[in-house]
Amino acid sequence: MANSINLAEKRIVVTGGAGFLGKAVCQVLRERGVPDTQILVPRRSDYDLIHEANVIRMYDDFQPDVVIHLAAEVGGIGANMAQPGRFFYANMAMGMHLVEEARRRQLSKFVHTGTVCAYPKFCEVPFREEDLWDGYPEETNAPYGVAKKAIFVMLDGYRRQYGLPSAVVVPVNLYGPGDNFDPSTSHVIPALIRKCEDARQANAPSITCWGTGEASRQFLHVADAAEGIVRAAEVMDDPVPINLGGGEEILIRELVSRVAQACGYLGKVEWDATKPDGQPRRSIAIVRANSLLEWSPRRLFVDGLAQTIEWWRANRSSSDFALQREAYANLSSAA
């Protein structure tokens, strides 16, 4: 832990700042007093950060003091299974080039957002940061999780050898208004909301969900995650991984029931057990976040779910939703 820095005095690049999590982080930065002119968001159409030359040009153009790295190529189980090589390469390349250039330019702080997918497949619940290296991640998203986790090691080495101040946060599955609802790349909550809403409007007698429903997940509202990330930028200098999560562990079967009920869908739920469940259980301990960041989640899941459904109903056919999808395509945020 370090002495707290005043982010309002810094030029801050937020990679993925046009995406789901990025917009929430930018909002928290504004609430901290950072002027819009000092919140800098590279767009993929201008800076494809997978390529080193574009990373160098981005640093040259923006001259940041702090980088909050949220950008990722990411998706649900299906997307991870379809593009394992791409997900590893893209996430590894972005992180590696961004960190190396941060070292060369002696940044005040580099903040890396990891993923709960980095944890071992069979990890004692709740997951503790000390368990990150106790086994191989769940196979369907291992390339993504390992690529993100490798940057933890890079930042630790750069802190010890070069003195680069940095922070690492590890969020659980995120959800909330503005999430990505594209069926080919969305995570479980937006995917289920869209499935239930489409079925309700079509009066469909049933919906089909992947797996057995016996896996579990823990969910974090995007606004709570954004607060934790900004707090890490303010107070951390050492890249010890810090979990961001909390709240209840929910079976996917129970989650589907809750989403269907909240959407008003009364049809039958069928399970396709030929499809993978993903990691058997996910729930993380937040003792470090409590201690090092003085952070804990504030929003109840039932309220956040209702808020997310309301947002989807208001935006699914609007130009705002089209813009949100374009922003996600430009630079999506880690989840």
Q: Which runs of E-coded beta strand occur in the chain?
A: 12-15, 39-40, 66-69, 71-72, 109-113, 166-171, 173-175, 206-210, 216-221, 241-244, 249-251, 268-272, 332-333
Inside any domain, residue 86: yes
Inside any domain, residue 243: yes
The answer to whether the pTM exceeds 0.95 is no
Q: Which runs of E-coded beta strand occur in 38-153?
A: 39-40, 66-69, 71-72, 109-113
Mean pLDDT for the stretch of residues 305-320: 85
Q: Is the pLDDT of residue 212 over 80?
A: yes
* Alpha carbon distance 18, 45 (integer Å): 12
Structural domain total, the chain:
1
Inside any domain, residue 213: no
Listed residue (22, 25, 110, 21) closest to 59, CA to CA: 110
Inside any domain, residue 305: no
Interval 42-57: pLDDT, tens: 999 999 999 999 999 9
Structure confidence at residue 247 as a pLDDT band (50, 70, 90): confident
Interval 140-152: pLDDT, tens: 999 999 999 999 9
In the block, which residue shows the tokens 């909390």?
Answer: 246
Beta-carbon contacts of residue 20 (< 8 Å; ≥ 6 apart): 174, 176, 178, 179, 180, 222, 324, 328, 332, 333, 335
Interval 180-209: pLDDT, tens: 999 888 889 999 999 999 999 999 999 999
Give the range of the structural domain holding residue 326, as residue numbers without chain letter: 7-176+218-249+280-299+318-333
85: burial class by Cβ within 10 Å (0-12, 13-18, 19+)? exposed
Inside any domain, residue 201: no
Inside any domain, residue 49: yes
In 112-251, which ranges are continuous DSSP H helix? 142-162, 188-202, 222-235
Inside any domain, residue 54: yes
Inside any domain, residue 59: yes
CATH no. for residue 31? 3.40.50.720
Q: Is the pLDDT of residue 315 over 80?
A: yes
Catalogue the active-site residues: 144
